[in-house]
C-alpha cells in the first residue's frame, strides 16, 4: 500500500490544463490520472477538449458523476430552484461529493494537483500551496457539516491525500503562455471571449461570458427551458430564475413579479451594444478570436 497515485483535477479550463501538463513533466504521463467531475452542464467544446488533451498527453481519464442526480439540470429540478451565492449546491453535489466518494474507494496514497491560482480571487489568495485534501475534517474550528465525516477519518487512518497547487503564483497570461509553449491550445471557448470555462453558463458568469451563451441558440434555449420547467411546478408566485436579482438593471426585468431577470431578458440585455460597449463588435463572426489573452489570436 506504499503506491502513490498522482491525480490532477481537470475541468477543461486553462489552469487545470497547465497543471496537467506540469504533472506529466514532473511525474511522467504514465503515472498521472486526470479526474473530470462532469456536471452535465459543460459546453460540448469542453467535453471534446478534455478528451483531446488527455489523448495528446497520454494520461488516463476518469470521469466522475453524482449518480443520485441527473447533472446540473436534474439537481435544479429536484430542488425546484437554482443555486446562488448562499447555496452553491451545484459545486458541492456535482463536484465535491463525487470526488470524495472516488477517493474513499481507492486503497492508495494520493498526491492531488489542483490548478488553483492566488490571483483568481481574494478568497483563493488565502489558500495554501500545499495542504491535506481533508484538512477541514481534522480542524476543530470548522463548524460546517462535513460529507461522510466518519468514512473520511477512517480512510485517513491508513492513507494520505496531499494537495499541491503548482501554478498558485502564476498569472492567467503565464498559464496561457505555458500551454502554448508546449504545443497545445487552451479550450476553444477562450477564443470566443470567455475568461473562464466550466459550466455553460455558470450562475456566477460575467456579462461578457453570458453573451457567448446568448449567441448560441442551443445553450441559450437549454437555460430558458430549465427555467420554464421549474416554474411550471411552482405555485407560490416567486419565480425561479437562473440569475439572481440585480444581474442586470431593473428596468430590463419585466417578466417576473419579484424583479429577478429571466435568462431571456439577460440574453437580450447583453446583446445590446449600447449596454455592453466593452464587448466585441456585434458584427464580428462568432467564431472569430476575441480572446482576453495574448497569443491565442495569432
Which stretches of the chain score pLDDT less than 70?
Answer: 1-2, 236-237, 273-298
Same domain? 192 vs 168: no
Please indicate, yes or no, if residue 193 is contained in any of the structural domains. yes
State the distance between the two ends of the chain, measured CA to CA, in whole angstroms. Answer: 48
Task: Please tell me the predicted confidence (pLDDT) of residue 77.
Answer: 96
Task: Please tell me the predicted confidence (pLDDT) of residue 288.
Answer: 46
| Residue 276 to residue 278: CA distance in whole angstroms | 6
For 248-286, the DSSP string reads S-GGG--S-TT-PPPHHHHHHHHT-TTT-TTSPPTTS-T
Please indicate, yes or no, if residue 258 is contained in any of the structural domains. yes
Please indicate, yes or no, if residue 169 is contained in any of the structural domains. yes
Same domain? 167 vs 237: no
Same domain? 150 vs 31: yes
Domain with 91 in it:
4-181
Task: Please tell me the predicted confidence (pLDDT) of residue 85.
Answer: 86
Q: Report the CATH number that the domain containing residue 153 is assigned in CATH.
A: 3.40.50.620
Count of domains in the chain?
2
Please indicate, yes or no, if residue 281 is contained in any of the structural domains. no
Same domain? 102 vs 160: yes
Amino acid at each position: 500500500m506504499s503506491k502513490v497515485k498522482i491525480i490532477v483535477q481537470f475541468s477543461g479550463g486553462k489552469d487545470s490544463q497547465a497543471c496537467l501538463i506540469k504533472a506529466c513533466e514532473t511525474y511522467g504521463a504514465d503515472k498521472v490520472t486526470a479526474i473530470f467531475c462532469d456536471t452535465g452542464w459543460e459546453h460540448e467544446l469542453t467535453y471534446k477538449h478534455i478528451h483531446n488533451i488527455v489523448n495528446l498527453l497520454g494520461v488516463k481519464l476518469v470521469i466522475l458523476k453524482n449518480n443520485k442526480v441527473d447533472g446540473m439540470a436534474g439537481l435544479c429540478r429536484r430542488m425546484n430552484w437554482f443555486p446562488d451565492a448562499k447555496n452553491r449546491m451545484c459545486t458541492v453535489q456535482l463536484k465535491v461529493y463525487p470526488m470524495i466518494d472516488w477517493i474513499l474507494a481507492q486503497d492508495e496514497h494520493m498526491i492531488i494537483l489542483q490548478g488553483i491560482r492566488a490571483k483568481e480571487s481574494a478568497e483563493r489568495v488565502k489558500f495554501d500551496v500545499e495542504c491535506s485534501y481533508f484538512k477541514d475534517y481534522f480542524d476543530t474550528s470548522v463548524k460546517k457539516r462535513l460529507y461522510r465525516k466518519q468514512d473520511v477519518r477512517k480512510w485517513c487512518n491508513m492513507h494520505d491525500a496531499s494537495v499541491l497547487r503548482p501554478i498558485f503564483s502564476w498569472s492567467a497570461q503565464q498559464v496561457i503562455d505555458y500551454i502554448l509553449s508546449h504545443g497545445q491550445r487552451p479550450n476553444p471557448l477562450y477564443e470566443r471571449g470567455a475568461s473562464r470555462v466550466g459550466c455553460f453558463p455558470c450562475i456566477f458568469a460575467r456579462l461578457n461570458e453570458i453573451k457567448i451563451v446568448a449567441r448560441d441558440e442551443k445553450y441559450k434555449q437549454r437555460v430558458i427551458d430549465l427555467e420554464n420547467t421549474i416554474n411550471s411546478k411552482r405555485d407560490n408566485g416567486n419565480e425561479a430564475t437562473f440569475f439572481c436579482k440585480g444581474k442586470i438593471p431593473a428596468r430590463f426585468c419585466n417578466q417576473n413579479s419579484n424583479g429577478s431577470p429571466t435568462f431571456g431578458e439577460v440574453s437580450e440585455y447583453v446583446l445590446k451594444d449600447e449596454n455592453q460597449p466593452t464587448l466585441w463588435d456585434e458584427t464580428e463572426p462568432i467564431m472569430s478570436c476575441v480572446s482576453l489573452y495574448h497569443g491565442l489570436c495569432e
